[in-house]
Chain A
Amino acid sequence: MKKLGTIWIVGILLIVLVACGGTTVTPDLPPEILYGEDVCDQCNMIISDERFAAGLVVELAPGKFEHRIFDDIGDLLAYEKAHGEEFTIAAYYVHDYNSKEWIDGKSAYYIQSEELFTPMGFGLAAAAQRLEAEALAEEWNGSVLSFAELHERTMAGQDVTEHVHQQN
């Protein structure tokens, strides 16, 4: 019964091959962005500048997470405002302006300044440490906001782009 043995082995190998899956998204995993290639989920533009790039982990169904990526922190907030009811947000990710590392968006400090030229003109940057944020704010004649303040202001305010347009 050599043949039967062979058939079994091939069958088992096929099942093993099919069963092999890939990695899954979890809330503690920041998105990977290919700069110069990937596009922003809010404005469709190419994400090139990691200093201002931001990301969300959204939970579409219990246990089913997906990434959303943005070229500007303002676009992240605009996206949440426009689509927030379609999912729950499991995590916010922004970049520390100085180290260019992903940091947790909820505990970050935000600098808003008209002098800051960000990809979509929101003038927003983030820093992990309050002191660094204050130093940057001073350099750019801007102000420092906590995540809660920024979030509340955006969600309560008018259309984010409109806000910027008027601001300038």
Chain B
Amino acid sequence: MRLKTISTLAGYELRSSLRNRWFLLYALAFAVLAVALSSLSLTGAGMFGFAGFGRTAASLINLVLLIVPLMGLTIGAQSLASEREKGTLAYLLAQPVSRAEVLWGKFVGLGTALLAALLLGFGLSAAVIAWQGGVVEAQQYISLVGFSLLLALVTLSLGIFLSAWSRSSALAVGLALFAWLALVFIGDLGLMSTAVAMKVKIQTLFGLALINPLQVFKIAAVNSLRASLEILGPAGIYATRTYGDALITLLVSVLLVWVLVALGAAYLRFRVEADF
């Protein structure tokens, strides 16, 4: 693999992302909501000055859980599928580039656009918190940002995976939206009904939660904000007890594995794709 090729492809992806209406809309929505939530939630906490988890972190976690996967999945899903549909992908692959380079180029370019957009949103929100005299600690905020970026890469990889396996752009985006719904709501509803109806053990419940990268992000974010997971009830206490300090390593590994598996699966398909 040649870095120059990857960076050229990534540069194109970055450039077209910044011209993509949907991407810009998501990025703008994220920045505005992050700033608004920080500002609103601090009006109470800042006034009283209690060091607490409070609304800021909780609302930011919620925001990330809703918007970041939507961004990652949809722009990832559009990546290969729309180029395939336009025919540009076939022409690109007729050049002296390897398919791995094309995939990495997509991942790096879109990832850069995504991370830059998130950093912008988080940066503006941090500025508001600093200005209003918030009680959010910088170190905790950094971990929240870090995990959010990781989640963005996970969902981007999943989007690229869907893109590699879909014949049309519409199908890919449709699948991405379904995947978003599944990750954000359906998976958790399943988890809820499992807990309520089947009365599974808490370790099973925790294990099931780890399948969903959104839950993994949330658990990781809560864990670094709180230094323990007991706020998440018995399953959280179980996890803190069982894994202790290794928990963060475990969660980050799970997210990284998601990235690698999704990209790997995308590559497996893309490598042998023969419909050009």
Contact = CB atoms under 8 A, between A and B. Distances in A.
Nearest to A34: B241
A34 B241 CA distance: 10
Interface residues of B, number: 5
Interface residues of A, number: 3
Interface string B182-209: 0000000000000000000101100000
Nearest to A20: B204
Interface in A5-62: 22, 34, 37
Contacts of B203: 22
A37 B241 contact: yes
Nearest to B240: A37
A22 B241 contact: no
A118 to B, nearest CB: 26
A126 B201 CA distance: 32
Nearest to B200: A22
Main secondary structure of the interface of B (DSSP, over half): helix
Contacts of B204: 22
A34 B242 CA distance: 11
Contacts of B237: 37
A22 B238 CA distance: 16
A34 B237 CA distance: 12
Nearest to B201: A22
Contacts of B241: 34, 37
Contacts of A22: 201, 203-204
Interface string B213-245: 000000000000000000000000100010000
A37 B203 CA distance: 16
A69 to B, nearest CB: 14
A113 B232 CA distance: 42
Nearest to A37: B241
Nearest to B237: A37
Contacts of B201: 22
Contacts of A37: 237, 241
Contacts of A34: 241
Nearest to A22: B201
Nearest to B204: A22
Interface of B: 201, 203-204, 237, 241
